[in-house]
Amino acid sequence: MASTGLSSSNSSSSSYDLSFKILLIGDSGVGKSSLLVTFISNSVEDLSPTIGVDFKIKLLTVGGKKLKLTIWDTAGQERFRTLTSSYYRGAQGIVLVYDVTRRETFTDLSDIWAKEVELYSTNQDCVKMLVGNKVDKESERVVSKEEGMTLAEELGSLFLECSARTRENVEQCFEELALKIMEVPSLLEEGSAVGKRNILKQKQVHHTSGGGCCS
Amino acid sequence: MGFLMCKEDNGLGCLMKNSASVELDSYFPVRHQRQEDVPKTRFKPRVGKTLSPRRWNAAFSQDGQLDIAGVLRRIQRGGIHPSIKGAVWEFLLGCYDPNSTFEERNEIRQRRREQYAAWKTECKEMAPVIGSGKFITAAIITDDGQPIIETSVNGNLPDDFGGKPSDNGSADKRVIQWKRSLHQIGLDVVRTDRILVFYETEKNQAKLWDILAVYSWFDGDIGYVQGMNDICSPMVILLDDEADAFWCFERAMRRLRENFRCSTTSVGVQSQLSTLAQIIKTIDPKLHQHLEELDGGEYLFAFRMLMVLFRREFSFVDSLYLWEVMWAMEYNPNMYLLYEEPNSSCQNGSQKINNKLLKLYGKFERKNVQTGWTEQKTALAVFVVASVLETKNKRLLKEAKGLDDVVQILGELTGNMDVKKAVKGALKIHKKYLSKAKKS
């Protein structure tokens, strides 16, 4: 309920240099929405399960550039996966989340989710970030940090352990991902193309008040 | 201190007069520390508009036949007083025929409770955790039917709580599928309406879990899909008896279950979304074109609104208000018979429609019947989404330059919508759509 109410108060019409699309995936209940809400706002709260897909927008400055991140938060239940596949289109970054206290969510990343990424991601250079969430529950941990690192290596992805509850490493997760995306020339180009088009479109709207511009 | 205690309260007259939302909170108390996070409730019981407990009681004849036309009139005008929602919903959703007597309904209720108990027993044999007051949040079985030992249960349970592997080793596919859904239900139950005091207790969470688990067994075609928890939760709160809550949910699912049908290529609700696209294209082609250009022609941004009937856009109380107004407007006097005896001849067409009979229909359904638009059943909810989109029409056309902007603009609706206005707008669009569709 409160989840959409918290959607970033930043106006999307503010100017920015680069615009990236980030996708959050992983099993149900690993804390995808919580990570996102913690990143976007200052509150930490219990969230309802995501239905279908939810978006949040975050403006931030990384490496001297003003970025607009559009983060697509997906439902984790297996049965929604048919839907998720269409969300991969054009994503520059993908965050794969598991819960360090539930092994199944970790094995599913390599057994299922990584394969989905292979199958549906349209960007060959798309940057991946593996995230082990809920490290605040240290006593319940069943997936070690080393295991996480090994999987990240296999997947060729970045890796962080974090806690949406304590906010530990949450900002780093998205910032490091953004920085890495900016290092990839093809992705950087895409991101700046959207940025430019945004400015261009604003001008167009001024002159012609609307009129479709195909994206 | 919940809703059900208030049910016995007969001094409700003063509630109606004061009609303060403070008193509404005593029906559905919100956890103290969470009051800030909740969308504001706009619904207030209003004298002369809301169906009051007194009016409700007066609507029954001596042997229990219900003046449904009078009841519908009230609900469409001002919703239902919180103290009687559960009982009224049973009629709105078609659990009972308004022409039946108290006695007949008691019989049906008894029979249904027994049926539910039988299904629950059947489920308990496969997964003994059912009905234990506990529930599970981790998988108890692998995809190929092997039991998983290390499982987290809320509380301690005997070793075989997940049920024994089947004797012949090749457990029925349907059983595996059902068992695979149990932890998903648990994961969702602990996240359902967490702001309400009601769900602070494990007992109430387990009640929701049991109902969803039994339902997904009984409706194996659909199974369990995320979002059903949002639909079922109010029933558990409104109806004290677990079996009664189950049947109320089952009736609600009769209208909604196709939305939850998942195939390898789509989710059922997408067919409602394409109807939505059709409606917008007909009544506001400019907006539709704009959305298509933004790669939003599939209207996936409205997915959640339809899937959980606006539960996330409104406060808890307001979404119940929206539901009951929609159901009253969609009311069809043949519903009970159609549900109980799907093969009966009591179809719309075979009956002579006169003015007296028309009064027994809700506003929306009446319009459909009058215009002969009964073949294609489009839910009122789809028109409500259309009306919501129309209220943002100017901003969407002017400011949305990407799908993210669309979602952002629609996201601002949360907590800022008015049930009355949204439904009024929906009926208007429905009328416009019917006349345009007729012409073409």
Search chain A and give the residue with CA nearest B261.
A79
The reply to whether A196 falls in a domain is no
Which residues of chain A are within 8 Å of residue B195 when distances are taken between CB atoms?
1-2
Q: What is the CATH number of domain B114-148+169-243?
A: 1.10.8
Longest pairwise C-alpha distance within chain B: 66
d(CA B289, CA B280): 9
pLDDT of res. A4: 37
Instruction: Indicate the average pLDDT of chain A.
Output: 84
Q: In chain B, where are the structural domains located?
A: 27-102, 114-148+169-243, 262-343+352-438
**Token pair belonging to B268:** 């059922």
CB A95 within 8 A of CB A75: no
Residue B416 confidence (pLDDT): 86
* Average pLDDT along chain B: 87
Among left, alpha and beta (phi > 0; psi -120 to 50; other), residue B295 is: left
Q: Positive or negative CA dihedral for B244, B246, B249, B255?
A: negative
Cβ distance of B407 and A82 shorter than 8 Å: no
Chain A residues inside the 8 Å CB shell of B229? 49
Distance in Å, alpha carbon of A210 to nearest chain B alpha carbon: 6
Closest Cα in chain B to A102: B138
Angle at CA of residue B56, ends B55 and B57, nearest 5°:
95
Chain B residues with CB-CB distance to A75 below 8 A: 226
DSSP structural state of residue B313: T
Contacts of A202 in chain B (CB under 8 A): 401
| For range B165-180, the mean pLDDT | 72
- Return the residue of B nearest to A75 by Cα: B226
Question: Residue A78 — very low, low, confident or very high, per pLDDT cuts 50/70/90?
Answer: confident
Structural domain count of chain A = 1
Q: Give the predicted TM-score (pTM) of the model.
A: 0.88
- Residue A13 reports pLDDT greater than 60: no
Measured CA to CA in angstroms, residue B333 lies from A167, B93, B339, B366 at distances of 54, 11, 11, 10
Are the C-beta atoms of B130 and B213 separated by less than 8 Å? yes
Q: Which residues of A touch B311 (CB under 8 A)?
A: 1
8 Å CB contact between B315 and B24: no
**d(Cα A156, Cα A61) in Å, to the nearest integer?**
26
CB atoms under 10 Å from CB of A170, counted, come to 24
For the ranges B5-9, B180-184, B211-215, B415-419, which has the lowest average pLDDT? Answer: B5-9
Percent of chain A exceeding pLDDT 70 equals 83
pLDDT at residue B72, as a whole number = 98
- Residue B217 to residues A159, B174, B268, Cα–Cα distance (Å): 40, 9, 19
What's A62's domain CATH number? 3.40.50.300
Phi-psi region of A63 (alpha: psi -120 to 50; beta: other; left: phi over 0): left
A201, closest residue in chain B (CA to CA): B401
What band does B187 get if pLDDT is binned at 50, 70 and 90?
very high
Which tens digits make up the pLDDT trace of B230-246? 999 999 999 999 999 99
A90 vs B: CB within 8 A? no
Q: Which residue among B39, B303, B407 sits closest to A5, beta carbon to beta carbon?
A: B39
Q: Can you state the angle between helices B269-283 and B419-439, rounded to 10 degrees?
A: 70
A79/B225 touch (CB, cutoff 8 Å), yes or no: yes
Phi-psi region of A41 (alpha: psi -120 to 50; beta: other; left: phi over 0): beta
- Return the bridge partners of A58, or none: A69
Is residue B18 pLDDT above 80, yes or no? no
pLDDT at A40: 92
Rounded to whole angstroms, the Cα distance separating B147 from B136 reads 14
- Which of B412, B232, B398 has its CA nearest to residue B309? B232
Q: Look at strands A53-62 and A93-99 and give their pairing.
A: unpaired
Backbone phi, psi, residue A17, to 5°: -85, -40
Tell me if A66 is assigned to some domain.
yes
What is the model's pLDDT at position A76? 92
Tell me: the pLDDT tens digits for A136-183?
Answer: 999 999 999 999 999 999 999 999 999 999 999 999 999 999 999 999
**Neighbour tally for A201: CB within 10 Å:** 14
Any idea which of B47-51, B347-351, B403-407, B424-428 has the lowest mean pLDDT?
B347-351
Q: Which domain does A130 fall in, by range? A: 16-190
Place of tokens 């959980």: B308
Nearest-by-Cβ selection for A201 from B139, B193, B401: B401
CB proximity under 8 Å: A 102-161 to B: 102, 104
Q: What is the pLDDT of residue B278?
A: 96
Residue B422 confidence (pLDDT): 95
Tell me what percent of the residues of chain B surpass a pLDDT of 70. 85
pLDDT above 90 covers a percentage of chain A that reads: 61
Segment among A111-120, B11-20, B170-179, B294-303 with least mean pLDDT: B11-20
Residues A7 and B411 sit within 8 Å (Cβ to Cβ): yes
The shortest CB-CB distance from A51 to any of B152, B298, B308 is to: B308
pLDDT value at residue A209: 40
In angstroms, what CA-CA distances link B60 with A153, A192, B56? 70, 68, 7
Helices (H), B79-150: 85-92, 102-126
Query: A-chain residues within 8 Å CB-CB of B196?
Result: none
Terminal alpha carbon distance of chain A? 31
Residue A7 has pLDDT above 50, yes or no: no
pLDDT the model gives residue A198 = 52
pLDDT of residue B274 exceeding 80: yes
Measure the CA–CA gap between B96 and A162, rounded to whole angstroms: 52
Domain B262-343+352-438: CATH architecture, name and number where available = Orthogonal Bundle (1.10)
Q: Does the pLDDT value for residue B93 go beyond 90?
A: yes
**pLDDT computed for residue B21 by the predictor:** 52
**Cβ-based contacts of A79 with chain B (< 8 Å):** 223, 225-226, 262, 267
Give residue A188's pLDDT.
86
Q: Report the range of poorest mean pLDDT among A197-211, B197-211, B414-428.
A: A197-211
**pLDDT band per the 50, 70, 90 thresholds, residue B150:** low
Top residue of A4, A8, A72 to mutate, by most chain B CBs within 10 Å, is: A4
Structural contact between residues B413 and B396, judged by C-beta atoms closer than 8 angstroms: no
Averaged pLDDT, A113-122: 89
pLDDT at A184 over 60: yes
Identify the pLDDT of residue B8.
34
| Confidence grade of residue A124 (pLDDT, cut at 50, 70, 90) | confident
Percent of chain B residues topping a pLDDT of 90? 68
Quick one: pLDDT at residue A211?
40
CB-defined contacts A:B, below 8 A? 129
The span from the CA of A109 to the CA of A116, in Å, is: 9
Average pLDDT for A14-35: 92
Tell me what pLDDT residue B415 has: 83
Residue type, A152: A
Q: Which amino acid is at B318?
A: D
Q: A34-69 pLDDT, tens per residue?
A: 999 999 987 777 889 999 888 888 999 998 999 999
| Residue A118: strand, helix, or coil | helix
DSSP state string for A50-98? P-SEEEEEEEEEETTEEEEEEEEEE--SGGGHHHHGGG-TT-SEEEEEE
* pLDDT category of residue B75 using cuts at 50, 70 and 90: very high
Asked if residue A2 is part of any domain, the answer here is no
The secondary structure of residue A111, as a DSSP letter, is I
User: Cα separation of A42 and A77, whole Å?
Assistant: 27
Asked if residues B231 and B250 have their Cβ atoms less than 8 Å apart, the reply is: no
Of A2, A51, A104, the CB nearest to B37: A2
* A209: in domain: no
Lookup: tokens for B260: 């939850």
Q: What is the 3-state secondary structure (H, E, C) of B358-419?
A: HCCCCHHHHHHHHCCCCCCCCCHHHHHHHHHHHHCHHHHHHHCCCHHHHHHHHHCCCCCCCH
In whole angstroms, give the CA distance from residue A7 to residue B418. 20
